[in-house]
């Protein structure tokens, strides 16, 4: 989600804030200057190495992911998201978390 937001955001202040979050994540893994995509990759690698299961392993199949993406895209909380993400964007994120 962090990477998708960073790619989609157009407001420089929001972009800077997302970059800062990326640096915080990178710092937790000894790489405080990591760009957002690298920081997200570090976190993903850690979660897999720690044995955290993906969505499919938790029983959240493609149909459930699609329904969740549709619901999330139209939810009131999506208005607070740093960048507009539609159902296709959200479904792609869920598939990547597979």
The reported pTM is 0.84
CB-based contact 25:43 (threshold 8 Å): yes
Phi, psi angles (nearest 5°) of residue 57? -65, -20
Residues of the chain short of pLDDT 50, as ranges, are: none
Task: State pLDDT tens for residues 31-44.
Answer: 999 999 999 999 99
The pLDDT, as a whole number, for residue 57 is 94
Clarify whether residues 5 and 27 are in a common domain: yes
Clarify whether residues 46 and 13 are in a common domain: yes
- How many structural domains does the chain have? 2
CB within 8 Å of 56: residues ≥ 6 apart: 98
Query: What is the tally of helices (H) and strands (E) in the chain?
Result: 5, 0
Show the domain range for 20. 1-52
Clarify whether residues 4 and 44 are in a common domain: yes
Clarify whether residues 42 and 21 are in a common domain: yes
Q: What is the DSSP letter of 77?
A: G
CB-based contact 47:55 (threshold 8 Å): no
CB-based contact 29:36 (threshold 8 Å): no
């Amino acid at each position: 989600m962090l990477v998708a937001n960073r790619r989609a955001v157009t407001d420089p202040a929001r972009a800077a804030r997302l970059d800062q979050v990326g640096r915080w994540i990178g710092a937790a893994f000894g790489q405080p200057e990591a760009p957002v995509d690298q920081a997200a990759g570090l976190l993903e690698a850690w979660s897999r190495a720690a044995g955290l299961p993906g969505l499919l392993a938790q029983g959240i199949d493609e149909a459930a992911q699609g329904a969740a993406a549709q619901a999330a895209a139209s939810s009131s909380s999506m208005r607070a998201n740093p960048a507009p993400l539609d159902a296709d964007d959200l479904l792609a994120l869920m598939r990547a978390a597979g």
